[in-house]
Chain A
Amino acid sequence: MKQSYGYLAVRLCVFAIWGLLCFAPFLFQDVRALEVAARICIFIVLVASYDLLIGYTGIVSFAHTMFFGFGAYGAAILLKQMGPGWDAVALGALAGVVVSLIVATGVGLLSLRVKAIFFAMITLATASVALVLASQLSQFTGGEDGITYRAPDLFKPATKLLVDAEGKVVKIFGVSLNGKLAAYYFVFFSALALFWVMVRIVAAPLGTVLKAIRENEARAEAIGYRVVAYRTFVFCLSAAVASLAGTIYAVWLKYTGPDTALSFAIMIDILLMVVIGGMGTMWGAVVGAVLMVLAQYYLRDLMGVAADAVTGVPLLPELLNPDRWLLWLGIIFILLVYFFPRGIVGTVQTMGARQ
């Protein structure tokens, strides 16, 4: 059976996105663009790991940012306490993953037997506890202010990766080969590796079992799969990946606080991204994260340009006023969900069937 044109188009598009992200520092040479590109990389991993839960296995969890936060705070606290160094990053990543695994196993074994809605509520409660703890334990976490720290020296903007004869940093296509570039590629390659691992997992026998549990839990049990064990396993796996994404983001931002790593606003972003991109596809995570992050960063600018272009026309400039960007973001979401009920990737994949 040949894959549909839509399926091929999606794959082409995803490869193109990764290609653009790979050369982002050279293609989009400004600080904000690099910030956006790094955020996209992180959110692809975060959304893909959430898709393992909601899209593949049918588990609804609201604690995904909590695991992201464990990884971020793990690295942040250790970088602050031990000073900038790879040992702090590695230990922070490890600590984040270990804490995530312990919490995920506990929550999973205790509550993955109950109905989906109760499980969702329990994750919500657990995530709230984590958020409260982060703001209360301010001697470790910096409370609401968060923690500012330095990343390993390699990522300092002043670091010269390559120097020419005069000792100045080498530029390629006008881009300085400095620590900022190294930091971006650290984010990019870590994200790519984690995403690749997840794509492999869903293609492996385990992936089919997860889908079977989503499709028909009772029958999966009846043909011999211990559903609770598989669910707990995938919950732990996605928690560990989210935690690693948190560590990477913490190293990139050099700041970790409730707003960047733990807030429910991030959870809602993840949910929107996975729904817009398409659940149960992995590729949907890429498309969803790109669209959402771009919209969050550039919709206002775009509206400003549009509002200027229509000055003199009655009403339109008012509607397109950049201050109303959230209204338009909302309208775009509603339209996307209306026209792509299975997400962009999910819907496009089924189009253009070939014989």
Chain B
Amino acid sequence: MSEPSLVTRDLTIRFGGHVAVNQVSCAFHPGELTVIVGPNGAGKTTYFNLISGQLMPTSGSVSKGATDITRMSPSTRVHHGVGRAFQLTNLFPQLTVLENIRLAVQARSADSWRIFRPAASFTALTAKAEYYLEKTRLTKLAHQLASALPHGDQRKLEVALLMAMEPDIYMFDEPTAGMSLDHAPDVLELIAGIKADRSKTVLLVEHKMEVVRALADRIIVLHNGELLADGAPGTVMASDVVRDVYLGGATEETA
């Protein structure tokens, strides 16, 4: 197998006495889509926050390729190719859809410090932003404020922002949460498109089993902050311990 693109070693974070993520060691490879599952409170989003930099670990490390990114700020990690979409819609509400995407495109160019030419005249940036609008089928909504979009389109914009950042590591946190069934396939198709590019690494937190089955190359299971199982979808889904925790005994555990 190829060199891992992202590695977490003994990644741990404590909040007071509570260990939210406990010694999680895991390697992710280009061309592989890993779905992270686990009951509510298992530490999936916290694990994501540690990888993308919103939280700093108590101990352990995160590397992107050969670079140790454990102590880097979220914005620096973006420049190292780690991109993240959020579970709760997290956009720039009073900016237009096009401006939202252009910000993501612009973030990795030096043009953000250009202070004297109208933004609209940066045609390369705009063209790239329009490309991603087209790809995510948001072109018609380009000049709407993000806050005015229906929920499903906001979720699509969330995904579009991540794509426009052009990372090497794509992290999706429940991209279809709260979406109607007719919108969800659009988003899943986009993720499948990213997966088809064998140079990209995709991490996906997802609850819906049909999504997991359709996309996963590999599943890891988190439970109470610990890595419980890791392997091919068929093996993991069939294992007893996972059935117990994730499908059966989860409710009393989280209380």
Contacts and interface: CB of A to CB of B under 8 A. Distances in A.
Contacts of A224: 75, 78-79, 104, 107-108, 165
B61 interface: no
Contacts of A201: 115-116
Given A204-B117, A209-B103, A215 B95 contact: yes
A308 B9 CA distance: 83
B74 A205 contact: no
Interface string B86-111: 10001111110001001110111001
Contact of A206 (B76, B91, B99, B112): B112
B15 interface: no
A216 B114 contact: no
Interface residues of B, number: 40
B116 to A, nearest CB: 5
Report which residue of A1, A222, A226 has the largest number of chain B beta carbons within 10 angstroms of its beta carbon.
Answer: A222
A205 B95 contact: no
B50 interface: no
A198 to B, nearest CB: 10
A216 B111 CA distance: 20
Nearest to A203: B118
Given A205-B111, A205-B125, A208-B119, A222 B74 contact: yes
Contacts of A227: 75
B52 interface: yes
B205 interface: no
Given A216-B91, A216-B92, A219-B91, A205 B116 contact: no
Interface string A19-57: 000000000000000000000000000000000000000
A219 B86 contact: yes
Contacts of B114: 204-206
Contacts of B115: 200-201, 204, 206
A205 B118 CA distance: 7
B102 A208 contact: yes
Nearest to B113: A206
B62 to A, nearest CB: 15
B84 interface: yes
A223 B53 CA distance: 11
Interface in B40-93: 52-54, 73-76, 78-79, 83-84, 86, 90-93
Contacts of A156: none
Interface in A209-233: 209, 211-212, 215-216, 218-227
Contact of A211 (B74, B76, B94, B112): B94
B60 to A, nearest CB: 21
Main secondary structure of the interface of A (DSSP, over half): helix
Contact of B118 (A197, A204, A219): A204
Interface residues of A, number: 25
A337 B149 CA distance: 28
Given A204-B115, A205-B122, A209-B103, A226 B108 contact: no
Report which residue of A1, A203, A208 has the largest number of chain B beta carbons within 10 angstroms of its beta carbon.
Answer: A208
Nearest to B167: A224
B77 to A, nearest CB: 8
A351 B94 CA distance: 16
Contacts of B93: 215-216
A207 interface: yes
A209 B104 contact: no
Nearest to A206: B115
Contacts of B74: 221-222
Contacts of A200: 115-118
Given A212-B103, A224-B165, A204 B73 contact: no
A345 B76 CA distance: 37
B84 A205 contact: no
A254 to B, nearest CB: 33
Contact of A209 (B53, B73, B112, B161): B112
A306 B54 CA distance: 61
B208 interface: no
Nearest to B111: A205
Contact of B106 (A203, A209, A218, A222): A209
A229 B82 CA distance: 20
Contacts of A225: 75, 103, 107, 112
A1 B92 CA distance: 20
B143 interface: yes
Contacts of A209: 103, 106, 112
Contacts of B52: 222
A212 B78 CA distance: 16
Contacts of B78: 222-224
A221 B143 CA distance: 24
Closest 9 CB pairs of A and B: A224-B78, A224-B107, A215-B92, A1-B143, A203-B118, A206-B115, A221-B74, A226-B75, A205-B119
Given A216-B91, A221-B74, 14 more contacts: A204-B115, A204-B119, A205-B111, A205-B114, A211-B92, A211-B99, A216-B90, A219-B90, A221-B75, A223-B161, A224-B165, A226-B75, A226-B76, A227-B75
15 contacts: A203-B120, A205-B106, A205-B119, A208-B95, A208-B102, A215-B93, A216-B91, A220-B103, A221-B74, A222-B53, A222-B84, A222-B86, A223-B75, A223-B104, A225-B75
Interface of B: 52-54, 73-76, 78-79, 83-84, 86, 90-95, 99, 102-104, 106-108, 111-120, 122, 125, 143, 161, 165
